[in-house]
Structure 1
Amino acid sequence: MSRSLPLRNVTVVITRPAGTAGPLARRVRKLGGIPVSVPGLSLRATEDATAVGVSLRRALEGDVVVFTSPAAVRFAADVLPLATRATVIAVGRGTARALKTADVTDVRFPETSQDSEGVLGLAELADVVGKRVALVGAPGGRGLLREALAARGATLDEIHVYHRVAPRIDRRHIDPLLKLGRRSAVLLSSAEALDHLRRALVAPAWRRLVQAVAVVSSERMRSAALDAGFERVAVARSALPTDLLTAAAGVSFTRR
């Protein structure tokens, strides 16, 4: 393996939402890999922007605002500026970076477990009895934050600034999958995206995909990948591009 090109001649399937794979694809190329974008999700802004704006403004005047993804930040910032005196929490470093881009610099986020469990371990959420806490994101998901914060006594509000829908999969996505060889990996950080792909791909393309090495963002995603039929799984430190690509670069592609 080349140290300067650790993904040399490795096909890397990127399953990020439609329209968002560009930066990650460029990083794959820089490492010598061959990026293939097959979106597992499409993201859509909530149609009633006026209602979202009213809810979001109220949330920013509360005590704590939790942004559940970088997309949540982007769609919220499209509605109104995110200036606030509330404690702002991001699910992970990527979401914190999106908040910085939106001019919100005082952000707390879990350093290690960058997920709902990590967020719930933050000191800022240890005592939320009677506090106004808002979750900004999309409908769906595990609901762990919602359930745990309500159980802790928070006055909870959920603002859905976008929603996730099934992607449009066509021949430009399927044809590269049918050509996947031994040196191939697929980056997975969303169980919902994985499920959409399983439903959308034709059988020959799906069979090729699960023969690749699944590079996943967490132990939870590892279980989801194994349940979906992947036999080879590598677990990255987080869903951050750097961590996913580091894990992919450490894979041995010699075994079929």
Structure 2
Amino acid sequence: MPASRPPAWYLVSLRAQGEHAAMRRAAARHGGGLLPLSPWRLQPRHDEASRGRLEVALRAPVLVFTSPAAVRAAAALVPLAAQPGRHWLAVGAGTAAALRRAGIADARAPSRMDSEGLLALPALAAATRVGLVTAPEGRGLLAAALAARGTEVVRADVYDRVPVPLSGSAVARLAALDAPACLALSSEQALRLVLGQLPPDAARALRSATAVAASERLAAIASDLGWQRVVSAGSPRPAALAGAAASALGPG
């Protein structure tokens, strides 16, 4: 049996441990390989205090979930059930899909999948009280913008991002990478955690990759942090990030 062809290019993924599979499949559809750099692991909360805060948040007329992980962790704490007059909003299509899998058929996400897109949704623009289901430090811009509008934000942190050391073998692969590469950028916090751990040679290799940002805000951050070539995917979904990366590199 002939050996499989090596990837024509690589996508560097900064997602949590165990959360790279969808990104790997998306890159492979365009002939790319994956180089995962995980700066944290996701740890759902199971304590009674977190359950109690979630129950209070879920009584708000408008609910916002900030990630698929937030949906999974919330559903493990309290059964999620649609109710008349309640709006279930998601920061992106992946989170909306997770809500539908949890039984919320009318979950909605903005076409612009970031905090600014959420803030423009009519249900959120008119809200006086919002339940925000997230993780610590998650969606700070959204919470601040809602508070500035006079909206009461009932926050429920249902999981934690626990920082972990980067894989030594992954860092070595990055430093030695001799194929075209793109950085899939969907989290400023993840990027800063990764940069803080990389030795100089690996940091240079990462900055030499094309940064494919999930939003214009993240594109600006990448530029500020030293990336010379930055493109916007317009979405944090793996398919969008991998597709934008393949287009930017032109692998053929």
Aligned to 1:107: 107
Instruction: State which of 66, 71, 94 in structure 1 corresponds to 2:69.
Output: 71
Deviation string, structure 1 residues 163-209 (Cα, Å, up to 9, x no partner): 22323213222121022125111111111010001101122111111
**How many residues of Structure 1 are paired with residues of Structure 2 in the alignment?**
244
Paired amino acid for 1:143 = G
Q: Distance in 1 between matches of 2:107 and 2:167?
A: 40
1:250 has 2:228 as partner: no
Structure 1 gaps, min length 5? 1-6
TM-score by length of 1: 0.88
Aligned to 1:45: 44
Residues 184 and 253, structure 1, Cα contact 8 Å, conserved in 2 = no
Aligned to 2:16: 17
Residues 40 and 193, structure 1, Cα contact 8 Å, conserved in 2 = yes
Q: Distance in 2 between matches of 1:24 and 1:128?
A: 34
Q: Give identity over the alignment, percent.
A: 39
TM-score by length of 2: 0.89
Aligned to 2:3: none
Paired amino acid for 1:38 = L
1:124 has 2:119 as partner: no
Paired amino acid for 2:187 = S
Instruction: State which of 189, 200, 205 in structure 2 corresponds to 1:208.
Output: 205
Residues 110 and 119, structure 1, Cα contact 8 Å, conserved in 2 = yes
Aligned to 1:3: none
Q: Distance in 2 between matches of 1:161 and 1:54?
A: 11
Q: CA deviation at 1:135?
A: 0.4
Aligned to 1:178: 175
Structure 2 gaps, min length 5? 1-5
Question: After the TM superposition, which of the residue ranges 173-182 and 15-24 deviates more from structure 2?
Answer: 173-182
Q: CA deviation at 1:87?
A: 1.3
Deviation string, structure 1 residues 123-161 (Cα, Å, up to 9, x no partner): 1122223xx321000121452222232333333210000
Tell me: CA distance 1:181–1:88, structure 2 relative to 1, closer, same or farther (3 Å). Answer: same
Aligned to 2:32: 33
Residues 45 and 163, structure 1, Cα contact 8 Å, conserved in 2 = yes
Of structures 1 and 2, the one scoring higher in RCO (CA 8 A, sep 6+) is 2
Q: CA deviation at 1:23?
A: 2.0
Q: Please provide the CA RMSD for this pair.
A: 2.0
Q: Distance in 1 between matches of 2:173 and 2:105?
A: 41
> What secondary structure, in the 3-state scheme, does the structure 2 residue paired with 1:153 have?
coil
Residues 67 and 91, structure 2, Cα contact 8 Å, conserved in 1 = yes
